[in-house]
Structure 1
């Protein structure tokens, strides 16, 4: 009889702890939206990891493009990009954005695919009859 009462308290404690962890996680995610602001002047265009604690980035600061090194202890501008390099970066960036915005299936590709699916469905339906 005494074991059942103690087990009830343990289960209630575990449930309460789960609710507290869920509430803390949700509130931290909600508060993070106010803490991180999207910068209009500084943007990281591309980042490449060198090892687990350092990376090289192309950064746009007020319209000027830089190659920067980021480590745990130091951030450093390696060099400024020339106009031709800047145009190449902008071109690849717009191409990448265009690829992200294209649908997975274009209409030209999806129509034969949908007809093939329809014919398969009809043949399976007829076999069931």
Structure 2
């Protein structure tokens, strides 16, 4: 289901488009949050996954983001806010910048020169 279709049906239970003058109540907001929880991976999975230290978990979070209907907006917002770290919109942020991959914690392995 597309998110725009979902937004059009939240207020009226599927009977028509969202009225432009509708006043959103707390009950409407809670119904909306429950409906989109399964569509947005960061709401339906462990939130710590998006701030993980292990490379495998970071890659899993990026893969889950690629299926999210809000990916582009999430990435744009994170860039605008200069998010300090985590996975946002399918990209990894470190120190407020997008990086290709996140290096694991600790020292990098020493390259062992072959014995002559």
TM-score range, shorter chain: under 0.3
The higher radius of gyration belongs to 1
- TM-score by structure 1 length? 0.24
Query: Which has more helix, going by share of residues?
Result: 1
- TM-score by structure 2 length? 0.26
Query: Which has more strand, going by share of residues?
Result: 1
Structure scoring higher RCO (CA < 8 A, sep ≥ 6) equals 2
